[in-house]
Amino acid sequence: MPAHDVLIIGAGLAGQRAALAAADAGATVAIMSKVHPVRSHSVAAAGGINAALNPEDTWESHAFDTVKGSDYLGDQDAIEIMAREAPEEILHLEHIGVTFHRNEHGQLGTRAFGGASQARTYYVADITGQAILHVLYEQLMKYSNQVDRLEEWFTTSLIQDEDGTCVGCIARDIRSGAMEVFTAKNVILASGGCGQAFKPTTNGLIVTGDGISQAYRIGAPLMDMEMVQYHPTCLVENGFLITEGARGEGAHLLNGDGERFMEKYAPNKLELASRDVVSRAEQTEIDEGRGAGPDGVGIYLDVTVVPKKRTLEALREIVNIGKDFAGVDITREPILIRPGQHYIMGGVRTDADGATPVPGLYAAGEVACVSVHGGNRLGANSLLDTLIFGKRAGTHAAERARAMAMPTPKAAEAKRREDVEEIDAIIARPKTGRRISSIKEELGESMNRHCAVFREEDGLRQGLEIVKHLQEEAKTAYIDDRGTVFNQDVLGAIELGYMLDCAEATVVSAIERKESRGAQFRTDFPERNDDEWLKHINVTTNGGDDPAISYSPVTITKWQPEERKY
């Protein structure tokens, strides 16, 4: 039974940063991931990372932009921490080898991003997440005597001791099918969001809400799950992300009539308004018959207004994506895009040190809700969130571990046997139900239809009924692979359960919030209502009934809510 001071589940930026921080604090660490760490979804983050590092900028300006971007649902104490600590973290990354872009003077250079009052986004072309992820992994390899890397292990359950403290997990070795108990004084979830519950999504196939659901199932509250970000620029063909860096470099959005329509919706910031504003503007143009391309379902992103040399230098990956997946040379002609699901602002409720209400359980990154993003995340704040709060969670968990004996959970072996039996039952199902992939497809299309850029009561209730129906069908859904070695089929069945948990929490929360704020735009309640809804919505499990709903206050330090304009 492997035992560690800190067990981290998920090896993207949040997980690796947490592992390094915990190791620096003297803890023994295990970092577990269902894929190789450099294949974590953090690798897809393209545009950059925010920090008020330039002398003319201030952390207060960064914090206010984030508060405003959150539509005043973000907790300002946590936002202040993130903005204050950002410059030091950027310099730390640069010193350990991240090759950030430098300007003609040899200084770290920035690009503009949406919702920001200053150009404070530091970047590595359009592969910023990949660049940081590889450097952190190199750093982890220096700690081989202190950090155990458990690559291609799939977590099936969190385990608790008699008083409810989280003391480890059950995990499956994907290469062999073996199931083991992993004991720890503290567990940090860093396993990302749940974008695969939507279709289309910019998220990789591994982003299935594992940690959100696992925490939820042991009693941790989920917060702000209704706040689902739709990114404005995703390929019409397949939902692939076209980085906000394109608009940061000066690209225009055009409707089917060739009109630069953002002048109507955000006359000051235009294409660099916050993501929820731009996505709603695009969807409005499409819904009102001014869309572009076949059937008018898209919008043109015109990168030809950016000098070709600059495009090839700063946007080289999306040049390749355009050619490979849309047959378009973006240096010569506009490319068709539309809003697509991109990010979950909600997640497992934590404090600023990553601690959840479940003792011994922490969360950081997209799996968590601190909440620094509130109703809408600003572009390039996500990488910052993973690093700042990953570091804080790792440090805090290591400090907590110092004063503790290693737990010996009595129920761990029984839970392992239970998980083995559940997997055996999935493998043994007769081929009379639906396929896992069919249920997942219907879930994604339903969430995109009923819980997307625009929402209303009847559609949300239809969506909830579909989720409940799919939860029942998932109980008998069959798989083809009966083996143990790299059985991705059985993992897909487990992931489907995680996604359905997340989808139910999202729709229930969206029904509950009877106002429009940030990414939640209710056409039947089109105005923001601070008197009644300036609060977080929390959901917890409630036996076999609908999730239980409660509320928690939004922390306000300096900035009182005001009308949000761009």
Q: Which is nearest to 369 in space by CA: 206, 533, 502, 234?
A: 502
Strands 179-189 and 110-111: unpaired
Contact 259, 407 (CB under 8 A): no
- Tell me: cis bond preceding 200? Omega within 30 of 0 counts: yes
Contact 365, 209 (CB under 8 A): no
Q: How many CB atoms lie within 10 A of CB 4?
A: 24
Distance in angstroms (rounded) separating the CA atoms of residues 194 and 495: 10
DSSP class of residue 377?
Answer: P
Contact 208, 194 (CB under 8 A): yes
Contact 503, 197 (CB under 8 A): yes
- The structure tokens 């040190």 sit at 353
- For residues 249-282, one letter each, b for 16 or more C-beta atoms within 10 angstroms of the residue's C-beta and e for the rest, the string is bbbbbbbbeeeebbeebbeebbbbbbbbbbbbbb
Q: Which is nearest to 510 in space by CA: 450, 435, 559?
A: 450
Q: How far is CA 213 from the centre of its chain?
A: 14
Any catalytic annotation for residue 461? no
Phi-psi region of 543 (alpha: psi -120 to 50; beta: other; left: phi over 0): left
Distance in angstroms (rounded) separating the CA atoms of residues 22 and 31: 11
Exactly one of 120, 149, 172, 275 is catalytic; which is it?
275
Distance in angstroms (rounded) separating the CA atoms of residues 13 and 376: 21
- 3-state DSSP call for residue 119? coil
Active-site residue numbers? 275
